[in-house]
Chain A
Amino acid sequence: MNIVVAVKQVPDLIEELEINEEGTGLDPDVLSFVLNEFDDHALEEALLLKEEAGATVTVVGVDTTGELDQALYTAIAKGADKAVKIVGDFEEGERMPTPIMARLLADAIREMDYDLVFVGVQAADDLDGQVAPMLAALLGLPHVGVVVGVEKADGAVKVHKEFWGGITADVLVETPAVLGIQAARQAPRYAPVSRVRQAMKEATIEEIEVDDLPEAPDASVCRMFIPEATGRAEMLEGDEEAVAGKIVEILKERGLV
C-alpha cells in the first residue's frame, strides 16, 4: 500500500500576526512557520497504517516558505519513506490560494503510485477551501473528510468520520481515495533532533519544479485585518492573588460559591 501525505506550513499562531502594508495579507517578514497541525495528524495516521498493515509513506508539499525542508526531514525522521517538494517562483511566505496549491499537488501526485492520499482536514489559512476535497475532485477520486481513524480493508479502507456532538460514522471507501484527517488515533509522534539531523544527512528530498502557476478561480481578498477587540471582557488587573480575589468576588455575587 502506498500512502501520499500532502503537507503545508502555516503561520505560527502563537506569534503575534501583523498585516502587510497593502492590507491584503499577513506581513511575511514577521511570520514564523510551522507544519499545519492537521497535516501532522495526517502523517501520524499514515505512519500508524504503515506499522499495522505495511505501507510506503511519501510526504509531498509545495514549498511556499522556502523552509519546507525542515518539515519534510522531520517527517522522514518520524518514519516517512520519501519526501517530495514542489518548487517554483512562488511569493515566499505569502499565502498560496488553496485552488492553486491543490492543482500543483494534484499534478505531482497524479504521477505517483498511490492508494491513499492523506491531507489535514483544514489549515488556519485555507480561506478559499480545504485542500483534501479539492485534491479529490482534481484527481477524480472519492473523498471523506473529518476522519479520525483509518483501517485497511480489502481493496478499500474503513474510515471513521466525525460529525458533531460525539456522533461518528464508519464509511467504507474504495481505494484509491483522498482522506481529510482531523485527528490520528494517537497524538502525533515526536522526532528527536538527532534523528532529524540524521535524516538531513542521509535522505534526499526530490524536487519537482513548476514553471507557471496553474489557472484557478479566484475570489480576491480585498482586505485583511486584525479585528479590534470587541472589548467584551472586562480585564482583571493585578497579581494572581488580587485576580483570584476578584474572581471569587464575582462568583460570590452570582451565588456560584
Chain B
Amino acid sequence: MSTYFVIAEHLQGALTETTFETLGAARALADATGGEVVGVLLGHGVQDMAGQLAAADRVLVADHPALEHFTPEAYNAALEPLLQEHQPRLTLFQNTAIGMDLAAYLAARLNWPLIAYCNGLRAEDGAIVTTSQIYGGKVFAECRLPEGPGMVTVLAGAFPAEAGQAGDAPRVETVSVSLDGLRTRFEELHEPEAEDVDITKADVIVAVGRGIQSEDNLELAEELAQALGGVVAASRPIVDAGWLPRMRQVGKSGQKVKPKLYLALGISGAPEHVEGMKDSELIIAVNTDPNAPIFDVAHYGVVADLFDVAEALLERLED
C-alpha cells in the first residue's frame, strides 16, 4: 500500500491553511491509488492539533521541547529517521518558509527525488505525475516521479483546503525523537510592527511592482490611490528596495488581501505575489508584457505603459 506523508505546518498555535490544502491533495492521491494518508505533526504540546488533520488516516506526533518553535535543524533531525523508517511513496511539504527549509535538505540527506513549486498532482498508471509552476509562473513543468520514495513541495492555494478538513478524527500515534547536539537555537518571534496603514483592511489597493521603476514614481501611485480612496501596496522587490514598508507587501511572505478593487500596476504576477491577492473582488492589471501571468488572475487587463494609464486615469478621476 502506498503511504502519503503530509508534514503539517503551524505557527503561533494554529495549523496553516496550506497544510489542509496539501492534506486534501494527498487524500485524493491516496483514494486514487488505494493508499494511506499519514499526517506528521512536530511541536511541543501540540496533541490537540493532531485531531484537526481530519483527512489523514492517522497522525504521527513528535513532541519535544526543541520542536516548540520552528528551526530547520531540529525539524529535519526529527523527520529524517521517520521518513527513513517508513519510506513513504510521497512526502508532501508546503512550498513555504517552513517547507522550503525542510524538503530540499531531506531530499539531499535521503537521496530522494524532489519536485518543488507543485500545483498539480495525479496518479497515472502507478506513477505520480506532478505539475509545477516555474520561471516566475511563466512556464509549467510536468514531471514523473520514479517508483520508490519521493517528495514534493506544494504551492499555497493550489488545492482546496476543505478536502483536507473533511473526515473522521484520525488515529493519533506518538513517536519518540531524540534531538541532541543541535547547533541552532530559536530565540524570539517578532510580530509585525503596527503601521499607520493596514492594507488588509483597505477596500481599494493600488499595487505597484518592478514596472514602477523608481522610488520617485511612487508619488503617482499614491495620488491615484488617494483619488480612489485607497492605499498603495507593492510586490516584494519594491519593499526589498526599501521604497515601502514591509507591511505594504502583498504575497506569500507578505500580506493576503481581498479588497473590492486591486489595481496592479507593473506587476508581472509571479505565483508568490498572486497567492496574496487572487481573491480580490475586482482585479485590474496594467503591464507592458502581454504574456504576464497577472492577466490570468485579473478580471480586466491593459497592455500598456503603466504611467500613461495611471496619469490618464488620475485626470479622469479628478475631473
Contact = CB atoms under 8 A, between A and B. Distances in A.
B68 to A, nearest CB: 12
Contacts of B117: 127
A219 B114 contact: yes
Contacts of A124: 134-136
B187 A158 contact: yes
Contacts of A173: 73, 183-185
Given A136-B105, A248-B316, A165 B254 contact: yes
B132 A127 contact: yes
B253 interface: yes
A133 B105 contact: yes
B31 interface: no
B139 A257 contact: no
B298 to A, nearest CB: 4
B313 A229 contact: no
A192 interface: no
B104 A98 contact: yes
Nearest to A231: B296
A247 B144 contact: no
A30 to B, nearest CB: 13
B254 to A, nearest CB: 7
A227 B301 CA distance: 17
Contacts of B146: 218-220
B317 interface: yes
A28 interface: no
Contacts of B145: 219
A220 B295 CA distance: 30
Contacts of A16: 291
B301 to A, nearest CB: 4
A3 interface: no
Nearest to B227: A257
Given A174-B184, A217-B111, A143 B73 contact: yes
Interface string A215-251: 0111111111111011011111000110111011011
B168 interface: no
A166 B192 contact: yes
A43 B171 CA distance: 47
A168 interface: yes
B71 A171 contact: yes
B144 A222 contact: yes
A235 B71 CA distance: 46
Interface in B85-132: 96-98, 100-109, 111-117, 129-130, 132
Given A170-B188, A248-B313, A220 B144 contact: yes
A163 B135 contact: no
Interface residues of B, number: 98
A234 B107 contact: no
Contacts of A247: 284, 300, 302, 309, 313
B23 interface: no
Contacts of A133: 72, 100-105, 108
Nearest to A256: B261
A162 interface: yes
Contacts of B132: 127
A167 B190 contact: yes
A129 interface: yes
Contacts of B32: none
A102 interface: yes
Interface of B: 11-12, 69-73, 96-98, 100-109, 111-117, 129-130, 132, 134-136, 138-146, 150, 153, 182-193, 203-204, 228, 236-237, 240-242, 246-247, 252-256, 260-261, 268, 282, 284-285, 289, 291, 295-305, 308-309, 311-313, 315-317
23 contacts: A122-B100, A124-B136, A126-B134, A127-B116, A129-B108, A129-B114, A163-B253, A164-B252, A166-B254, A169-B186, A169-B187, A174-B183, A219-B114, A222-B143, A226-B139, A226-B291, A234-B299, A235-B302, A240-B308, A240-B312, A247-B284, A247-B300, A251-B261
